[in-house]
């Protein structure tokens, strides 16, 4: 395996509706910004990986429509679709292409135009014999798991609301974020409309139109184009059994994320993640998930996540800032959301995160989450 | 055991910058637009945002047609006649309806665009299709 | 700036799905208001829905085990947001309650509707019981919903 690093990132200004651009034009915006950030020409790209959600965009073979927008014409190009993890899985696929020695420069781009389809209905196209008749979309699935997590840990609605407040306040310093709410409060979250007990409107991620791209380079190329590349120290992906009822107390156990994190921590020499990581960009489609991931990722002990958020450990000025970008709770173009986690973690390490930069961030974690319990994890690090 | 089912999903696609420009020109001016690529010097039909071969080269919107050459055609009972038409001054061809009877069609023959009224929501209906030029005289 | 064009389209597709041997037996059992799980010979886990393989042990499944139509509510929610039933295009309005139910004799849980929609009356650990449809069709919605037992 060769060493590989992220040398540039680009994203769109995520919004509830981008009627002014087609899907390919949206993809081009992010791709062009990533090339500009990396300082390379489109011609230098050797291969392209596209991340998208099947059926959300309503086009067969989206890579056919998007390839040329992502500079893939005449080059190797493939699509990765693994649910919510699509974006992180695509980044890991791109990493493998570079680390294996196959390509020197790979562009990874993910996108979503939520406004063009019906995501809840798309999510309900599940096993036709077993659970299509009783589908309740991502919202219902999360709400079910949250009831177990609350019963297991005693986590409160107020503690979850604090995650929403942190995310949207952080997003107010991120020009690309969809929901920017500098004046959000715990009270406002708890007073927002109940979507599915106990998930309030402000506990849940928005549906966004947006795209995000990263450029991954092999060691020599990375050092040529970048003076502080974000080296990929470890990347792991885990899938889980096919039905929601297969997984024992999903949010509490989250074995896939635990296992993926364990692997990347070992590769990156991280023994105490709270101390050894400088920043984390984790995939939290709902506030309660962020609390559960704190435990699965070893930021705190089992059942201690509520206290961790109350103590401010994961705030911008805390010991381990989590989601300075505002996270999935602030922008959720699903096919892009995983790429955004990796791009934001890379931007922190590259020192290019602007107003939401964590001072001196050297080591960053990015995670992906999809379907009932799929998980991806990556550790990025700048060499001193 | 086999179970049959149907899936119904609503979508609303944004035509985007080049798509909207192309469709509004059809609807409002009965003009067909293409894009000239500055790198490969081809005129692509219809107008688009990216040259499929040159990646990020600059594109310029130009008028093409309304006459052209029928490169290929087929007749389907459910869809009528579909033809591949290379419009005058364009370097790539588009697929569209061929109007009239298939009896008179032959590859390489001249065809002419036919326009009609369309709603604001479906400007693509403005281009009814292409008819053989001989039927014109 | 050109006025943006948005083109609406309803995707309407028909599909045929083969059930496989395990799901066929399960569906036929439902016609007799009977529920059976498949048990892994290695880890002894009893799977609902029945399936050809144990994903964890990576071995084929061959053994069937009876399961009750009563069990424990392991998770619940009341959904207030409407959802489109993509089989019919009909919107299901809220509130409706969902649960993950561990039927007595099964190790995995079943995702299904719960009749009670008052959050104050729902609790993890409660006993629930299947309410069957009058006219059975050999499908999972032969169970209309689960009702809470006191």
Shortest alpha-carbon distance between residue C12 and chain B (Å):
5
Shortest alpha-carbon distance between residue C75 and chain A (Å):
5
Residue A324 included in any domain: yes
DSSP assignment, residue A53? -
Q: Which residues in B lie closer than 8 A to residue C27 (C-beta atoms)?
A: 1
Residue A179 included in any domain: no
* Chain-chain contact of C27 with B124 (C-beta, under 8 angstroms): no
CA distance C105 to A344: 47
Domain that holds residue A235: 4-119+205-381
Q: Which residues in B lie closer than 8 A to residue C6 (C-beta atoms)?
A: 12-15, 121
State the count of interchain CB pairs (< 8 A) between B and C.
Answer: 86
CA distance A29 to C124: 47
* Chain-chain contact of B17 with A121 (C-beta, under 8 angstroms): no
| Shortest CA distance from B16: residue in chain C | C4
Is C27's Cβ below 8 Å from some Cβ in A? yes
Tally of domains in chain B: 1
The alpha carbon of A380 is separated from its chain's Cα centroid by a whole number of angstroms, namely 14
Specify the length of chain C in residues.
150
Specify the length of chain A in residues.
384
What φ, ψ does residue A154 adopt, rounded to 5°? 75, 15
Residue whose pair of structure tokens reads 């989590």 in the numeric block:
A322
Residue B111 included in any domain: yes
Cis ω before A198 (30° cut-off from 0): yes
CA distance B66 to B46: 12
DSSP-derived 3-state class of residue A202: helix
Residue A285 included in any domain: yes
For residue C24, give every residue at least 6 positions away whose Cβ sits within 8 Å of its Cβ, in sequence order, or none.
Answer: B1
Residue whose pair of structure tokens reads 């990025």 in the numeric block:
A380
State the count of interchain CB pairs (< 8 A) between A and B.
Answer: 73
Closest CA to A176 of A286, A30, A32: A30
* pLDDT class of B134 with cuts at 50, 70, 90: low
Q: Which residues in B lie closer than 8 A to residue C10 (C-beta atoms)?
A: 8-11
**Mean pLDDT in residue range C51-78:** 96
Residue B92 included in any domain: yes
Shortest alpha-carbon distance between residue B79 and chain A (Å):
21
Angstrom CA distances, A187 to A159, A201, B111, stand at: 11, 13, 68
Burial A172-186 (b: 16+ CB within 10 A, else e): bbbebbbbbbeebeb
Tally of domains in chain A: 1
| Amino acid B136: pLDDT | 47
Closest CA to B97 of B124, B119, B123: B124
Judge whether A85 and A338 are in contact, CB under 8 Å.
Answer: yes
Domain that holds residue B73: 16-136
Neighbours of A282 (CB within 10 A): 25
Q: Which residues in A lie closer than 8 A to residue C100 (C-beta atoms)?
A: 144, 148, 244-245
CA distance A69 to B16: 13
Residue B32 included in any domain: yes
What φ, ψ does residue B93 adopt, rounded to 5°? -105, 160
Is residue C147 scored above 50 in pLDDT? yes
Q: Which of C1, C7, C139, C142 to mutate to test the interface with B (most CBs of B within 10 A)?
A: C7
Burial C116-128 (b: 16+ CB within 10 A, else e): bbebeebebebeb
Q: Which of C98, C114, C123, C131 to mutate to test the interface with A (most CBs of A within 10 A)?
A: C98
Dihedral (CA of B46, A80, C108, C27) sign: positive
Residue B11 included in any domain: no
Pairing of strands B80-87, B67-76: antiparallel
Q: Which residue has the higher pLDDT, C49 or A119?
A: C49
| Amino acid B137: pLDDT | 46
Residue A61 included in any domain: yes
Q: Which residues in B lie closer than 8 A to residue A38 (C-beta atoms)?
A: none
* Chain-chain contact of A68 with B5 (C-beta, under 8 angstroms): no
Residue A146 included in any domain: no
Residue A182 included in any domain: no
Element (H, E) at A89: helix A86-99
Shortest alpha-carbon distance between residue B65 and chain C (Å):
21
Residue B105 included in any domain: yes
Residue B55 included in any domain: yes
Residue A14 included in any domain: yes
**Longest pairwise C-alpha distance within chain B:** 61
Residue A175 included in any domain: no
* Chain-chain contact of A25 with B18 (C-beta, under 8 angstroms): yes
DSSP-derived 3-state class of residue A377: strand
Partner B, chain A 121-140, Cβ-Cβ below 8 Å: 121-122, 125, 128-129, 132
* pLDDT class of C83 with cuts at 50, 70, 90: confident
Shortest alpha-carbon distance between residue C139 and chain B (Å):
10
- Provide the residue-wise pLDDT of chain A in tens; the chain has 384 residues: 999 999 999 999 999 999 999 999 999 999 999 999 999 999 999 999 999 987 777 777 888 889 999 999 889 999 999 999 999 999 999 999 999 999 999 999 999 999 998 777 777 778 888 888 887 788 999 999 999 999 999 999 999 999 999 999 999 999 999 999 999 999 999 999 999 999 999 999 999 999 999 999 999 999 999 999 999 999 999 998 888 899 989 999 999 999 999 999 999 999 999 999 999 999 999 999 999 999 999 999 999 999 999 999 999 999 999 999 999 999 999 999 999 999 999 999 999 999 999 999 999 999 999 988 999 999 999 986
Q: Which of B2, B54, B55 to mutate to test the interface with A (most CBs of A within 10 A)?
A: B55
Is residue C73 scored above 80 in pLDDT? yes
Judge whether A27 and A40 are in contact, CB under 8 Å.
Answer: no
Judge whether A204 and A330 are in contact, CB under 8 Å.
Answer: no
For residue B36, give every residue at least 6 positions away whose Cβ sits within 8 Å of its Cβ, in sequence order, or none.
Answer: B42, B43, B44, B59, B60, B61, B62
* Chain-chain contact of B13 with A23 (C-beta, under 8 angstroms): yes
Q: Which residues in A lie closer than 8 A to residue B15 (C-beta atoms)?
A: 22
Q: Which residues in B lie closer than 8 A to residue C18 (C-beta atoms)?
A: 1-2
* Chain-chain contact of C11 with B123 (C-beta, under 8 angstroms): no
Q: Which residues in A lie closer than 8 A to residue C87 (C-beta atoms)?
A: 132-133
Q: Which of A17-31, B64-78, C71-85, C100-114 has the lowest mean pLDDT?
A: C71-85
Cis ω before B46 (30° cut-off from 0): yes
DSSP assignment, residue A308? H
| Amino acid C1: pLDDT | 67
CA angle A250, A251, A253 (to 5 degrees): 65
The CATH number for A216's domain is 3.40.47.10
* Chain-chain contact of B1 with C24 (C-beta, under 8 angstroms): yes
For residue C77 the two structure tokens come to 């929610």
For residue C143, give every residue at least 6 positions away whose Cβ sits within 8 Å of its Cβ, in sequence order, or none.
Answer: C69, C112, C130, C131, C132, C133
| Amino acid A131: pLDDT | 82
């Amino acid at each position: 395996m060769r060493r590989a690093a992220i040398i540039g990132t680009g994203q769109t200004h995520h919004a509830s509706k981008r009627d002014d651009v087609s899907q390919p034009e949206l993809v081009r915006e992010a791709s062009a910004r990533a090339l500009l950030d990396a300082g390379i020409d489109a011609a230098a790209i050797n291969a392209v990986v596209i991340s998208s959600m099947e059926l959300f965009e309503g086009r067969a073979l989206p890579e056919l429509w998007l390839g040329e927008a992502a500079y893939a014409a005449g080059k190797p190009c493939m699509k990765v679709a693994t649910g919510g993890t699509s974006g992180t899985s695509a980044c890991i696929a791109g990493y493998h292409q570079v680390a294996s020695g196959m390509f020197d420069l790979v562009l990874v781009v993910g996108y979503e135009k939520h406004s063009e389809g019906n995501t809840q209905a798309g999510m309900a196209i599940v096993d036709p014999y077993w659970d299509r008749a009783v589908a309740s979309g991502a919202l219902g699935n999360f709400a079910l798991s949250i009831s177990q997590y609350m019963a297991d840990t005693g986590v409160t609605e107020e503690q979850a609301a604090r995650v929403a407040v942190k995310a949207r306040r952080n997003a107010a310093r991120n020009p690309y974020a969809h929901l920017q709410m500098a004046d959000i409060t715990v009270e406002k979250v708890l007073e927002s409309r109940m979507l599915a007990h106990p998930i309030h409107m402000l506990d849940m991620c928005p549906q966004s139109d947006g795209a995000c791209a990263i450029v991954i380079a092999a060691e020599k190329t990375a050092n040529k184009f970048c003076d502080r590349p974000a080296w990929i120290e470890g990347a792991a992906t885990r899938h889980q059994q096919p039905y929601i009822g297969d997984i024992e107390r999903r949010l509490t156990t989250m074995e896939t994320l635990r296992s993926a994190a364990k692997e990347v921590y070992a590769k990156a020499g991280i023994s105490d993640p709270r101390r050894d990581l400088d920043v984390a960009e984790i995939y939290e489609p709902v506030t309660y998930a962020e609390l559960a991931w704190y435990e699965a990722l070893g930021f705190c002990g089992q059942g201690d996540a509520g206290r961790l958020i109350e103590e401010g450990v994961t705030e911008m000025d805390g010991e381990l800032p989590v989601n300075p970008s505002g996270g999935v709770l602030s922008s959720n173009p699903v096919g892009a959301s995983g790429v955004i986690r990796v791009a934001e973690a890379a931007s922190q390490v590259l020192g290019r995160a602007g107003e939401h930069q964590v001072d001196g961030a050297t080591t960053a974690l990015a995670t992906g989450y999809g379907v009932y319990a799929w998980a991806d994890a990556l550790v990025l690090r700048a060499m001193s | 055991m086999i179970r049959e089912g149907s899936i119904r999903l609503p979508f609303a696609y944004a035509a985007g910058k080049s798509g909207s420009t192309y469709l509004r020109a059809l609807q409002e001016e009965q003009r067909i637009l293409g894009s000239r690529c500055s790198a490969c010097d081809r005129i692509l039909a219809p107008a688009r945002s990216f040259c499929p071969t040159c990646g990020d080269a600059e594109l310029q919107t130009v008028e093409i047609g309304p006459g052209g050459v029928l490169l290929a055609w087929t007749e389907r009972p459910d869809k009528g006649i579909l033809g591949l038409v290379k419009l005058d001054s364009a370097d790539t061809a588009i697929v569209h309806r061929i109007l009239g009877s298939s009896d008179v069609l032959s590859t390489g023959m001249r065809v002419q665009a036919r326009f009609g009224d369309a709603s604001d929501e479906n400007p693509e209906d403005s281009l009814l299709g292409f008819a053989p030029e001989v039927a014109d005289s | 700036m050109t006025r943006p064009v948005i083109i609406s389209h309803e995707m309407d597709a028909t599909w045929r799905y083969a059930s496989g041997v395990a799901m066929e037996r399960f569906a036929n059992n439902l016609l007799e208001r009977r529920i059976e799980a498949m048990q892994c010979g290695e880890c002894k886990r009893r799977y609902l829905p029945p399936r050809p393989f144990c994903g964890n042990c990576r071995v084929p499944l061959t053994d069937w085990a009876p399961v009750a139509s009563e069990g424990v509510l392991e998770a619940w929610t009341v959904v207030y947001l409407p959802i489109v039933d993509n089989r019919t295009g009909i919107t299901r309005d809220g509130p409706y309650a969902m649960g993950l139910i561990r039927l007595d004799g099964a190790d995995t849980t079943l995702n299904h509707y719960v009749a009670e929609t008052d959050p104050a009356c729902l609790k993890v650990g409660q006993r629930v019981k299947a309410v069957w449809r009058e006219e059975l069709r050999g499908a999972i919605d032969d169970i209309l919903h689960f009702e809470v037992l006191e």
